[in-house]
Each structure stands twice: as structure tokens, then as C-alpha cells.
Structure 1
Amino acid sequence: EQQAKASGKLPYRYRDTASRPELPFKKIIFVKRFTYHSSHFYTDFLDGCSLYGGNISVLDLKTGKVTDLFPKNSLMAGGIVGRFTLSFDAKKLVFDWKKAPIEGFRIYEINVDGTNLRQLTFPPADEKKRVAKYDLHAKGGNQKNYFYQTDDMHPCYAPNGSIFFTSTRPQHGVLCSTYLTAPLIYKMNSDGSNMQRMTLSAVSEFSPAVTPDGWITYSRWEYVDKGQLGIKCLWAMKPDGSGSKEIYGNDIPFPPTMLHGRPIAGVPHKYVMLGTP
């Protein structure tokens, strides 16, 4: 059943209630993928990618028609799409995609009609050396593997044309499980050049988004002055990486984790995010 749903073989059960005159848009873009099977809520990209296949799709709210951006049986349709962000002019989107278990997520861009697909980030030149360095099992060790391949994920457009994203390129693990890679926030030009690290944390920082006044929000795993609960909250920084501050959730025990915060368009100082119990 899961394979049928991911491949689009099951008929879409369109409901007339989906087409509402009060909605200010006519189409919805969404990701098709199998359910992640992660050991933790922050390890989707590490140990959650066990089933491959999916797409980026467009739903027409008037007709109920679903259009896939990747052709059927194509290389892209055989991988895993992580998250995407629509451009400010709604003509293209940027997303992260993973080809196979032994390869990391990379960032791509595509027009909303499925044309002009291009890859923006690539593995570091020393990726193979990193794999050999951290493959403890290959050396006869009895420790768990550090997840050695790098990943570039959660891209979002900035008003000046640059792209913010999260990446494991710094190569460090979280404090309680050093073999679990911790991603940090990066910025690059629209063509993937001039990559810069924008944050420096001991644990995970991910899922950047742009506020109406130009700040960059992101989810942050905070260890300082906190108990076992309330570990993921919403932070923000200026586009140059300065002025980082907590926005919401740093001392709230429930929900203990708040992920993928996004500003609500037209509603200042309000955000929508996922809460995990």
C-alpha cells in the first residue's frame, strides 16, 4: 500500500470542499515520500531514509489533478525529497534530494512546471576520505558509525537572491551521541557558489525561513539551562549571522520539540510550526 501511494497508483479522492473561494491561491505544491523511520525526531536524514521513491507534486484545487514534477521512472523519482521552498515570484522552488543510502542530501532548483532542473550543491572534494576516516566498523572497531557523508538540506530563498540551508559539513556530533551528525545553518549564492557557515552550535540548527522583516528563523536544539524536555525551539538571526536570539519555546515543556517554524504571511510576529509530544 505504501509503494502504491508513493507511486501514485491509488486514485486521488478529490473533495469539492478543497476548492474554496476564500483561499487566495489555486494550487498547492507538496512532497511525496515514504514515511521516515527515524530513531529520533532530528535524525530523518541519518537513519530515517529506508524507503526510496517519491516526487514533488502540484495539486490543482479546482480540478483535483495532481501533476508530478519528476517524470515517472526517472532518476529523481527514485530518490527521496526532503523539504522545499517556493521562490518569492512563485516561478521556481529549491529543495533537497537524496539518491541512495550511501550518498548525502544535495540541494537542487527546478521551475514549478518541472523544467530547468539544476543541482546547486555537491559533495566536498574529500568526501571519500571522510568516509574512510570515520568508518569505525571497517577498522574493526566496536563503536557505532559516525554518519560520515555530508548532507545539505532545508533550503530557503532570501530576498537578495541568496539561499540559506542546513548542512553537516562542519563534521561534529551531538553531545549525547557523538556519532549522530549535527547540522548548522549555511548560506550560498543562488548558483551554489560562495558557501558560508552562518552559525556555530554544539548541536543541531536547521530548517531556516525568512521573516517579513528580513530575519532568518531556524529550529535550534538548545542544551543550556534545560532539562530533558523542551529541547528544540525557534530562534532567529540577521542575514549576516549576527544577533542570534530565541524567539519562542526555549522554556516551554510542552510540546517539548517545535520543528520547521514558518512565519505566517500577512500576520506579523506569528509563526506556524510542528510540535512533537
Structure 2
Amino acid sequence: MMIGQLAASTGLSVRTLRFYADAGVLPAQGRSPAGYRLYGPDAVARARLVRTLRELGVGLDDIRRVLGAEASLQDIAARHAQALDAQIRLLRLQRAVLRAFVGSTDPEELERMTDLTTLTAEQRRRIVDDYLDAVFGDDPDTVADRLSMGAPDLPDDPTPEQIAAWVEVAELLRDPDFIATSRRMAQRARAEGPQPDVAQFEVGKAVGTLAGPAARAGADPASAQARAIVERLEALGPTPAEDRNRVADRIEAFTDRRIGRYWTLVGIVNGWEPSQAPDDIIDVWEWYARALRAHA
């Protein structure tokens, strides 16, 4: 058939068919005495396949390989689908970054957000691992294990809130002062021996139950009410009254609002169900520490 007949059978323009012929994916079987291209009966199906693959974004080189039996259509389709998946993930990230930036007028913030969110999953994980290495070194540590298992993991289709949270947590993990504070806490935890026993965990829960309402109500840590709470908590655990300053020292050493902020951010990035705000918990423990010192 002539190229015009092929165009009528496939719905493709003569110009497109000539382009495909010149590219080697739709070669003519011969030429007429007048020099016009001639195509065989299989050209219709071949042209339609080329058109479909091009509409799906498959390149001419891959199409030539498929038509030349150098690669299977299934393999090319699978590889191209993977490439599209990667592009879709990137487009979703870019969309979320732009939505998260709406309302800001700082171009440096947009640059920072773009740099931190277009990292690969492995590069994002490296930020967490570098922080853990800087804080805990090569020594095994249950806290390090918990941080590693609960590391922020940005989803493929993040919300603007998750993008903003990831940027903040990444900057926090690379903040030298935050790293130094975390290292001091880790070193003190190692120096003070094994993890607390079950009784101390029960005391920890009771602090929220007993001291929480008083702290939120603005009770004076030096008041008789605070003393009664301290004594009730001591009755639950192994800490004698003469060690109240030591207990307060430990609470203050391990109470850092940036640590609480870190877990809030991780929860947002990972899509965890929201729980009690870390700042509320820290407020209660700080109030309890002041009450311990007031009645030492």
C-alpha cells in the first residue's frame, strides 16, 4: 500500500509515518516505479504499535529493539513502568514542596526544601544514620535501636505537612548543638547503668496521672499539694526522699524539648496517630523536678 493508504488505515499523518520510516521503526518494503514508499500488510499493526508505545513515552531506541526482537515488549514495558514510577514519585514530591512553600516569601526556604526532599530514600536514611553514629558511635544501645526503628520515612506521595516536618527534622538531625546534647544524654544513660526496672516505669506513668493535673492547673511546686504528690509518687517506687535532688538532676538531664519536637516531627512524617503532645509531657516532668527540689 502507498503511504497515503497507510495513513488512512492508522489515523496517523503522512508526515508522522515518514518520520517513523526515517527513524527505522516503520521501514518501507520497497518503492514504486515513481519512487513512492510501499508498505506491506503488517505495516498497519506495526504503525499502531509504534504510535501506542510513543504515546506511553517509550523512546524510539527501545521501540526499535522491540520490533527487531532484541528485547521483549514485556521487558520494555516493565522497565518503562519503573521509570514512570520514579518520575511520578518525583512529581509528587515537587507538588508537595510547592504546596508547603505557599505562604512563604523566602526563596532560600524553597531551595532548602527542594534540596532535602529530592534526596533519594537512601540519602535521607543516611542523614538519620549519620546522626546515630555521631551520638552513639559503634556501641550497641537500646535507645539507638529505637531511634533507628522509628526513623522518619517520607512517603512517595507526601502531604505539604509531611514535607515541612521532614525538612525540620533533617535540619535538627544535622544541628551540631542538638547532636552534642543527644550525645551527652546517651553518655549519661550509659554511665548510670541498665535501663530502669518495671517499678520505675510505673512511677513514670504515675507522674503523668498525679503530677499532670497539678502542673496544668499551675500549682506551685513548693506547695503542700506538690509535696503530697511527690510523696505519693515515692511510695510507688524505689527512690527514697533523700535522693530527690538526684532524681531532679536526672529528669533535667533527660528533658529536652528538641527531643520531644523530634518525635512530633517523626510522627507527622511517618503518618502516626497523634498522641499526647511532647511539650505537655515535658511540662509535667519539669514541674515534678521543681517539686522534688522544693521538698528535698
**What is the TM-score with the length of structure 2 in the denominator?**
0.19
Name the structure, 1 or 2, with higher relative contact order (CA <8 Å, separation 6+): 2
**What is the TM-score with the length of structure 1 in the denominator?**
0.20
Larger Rg: 2
Structure with bigger helix share is 2
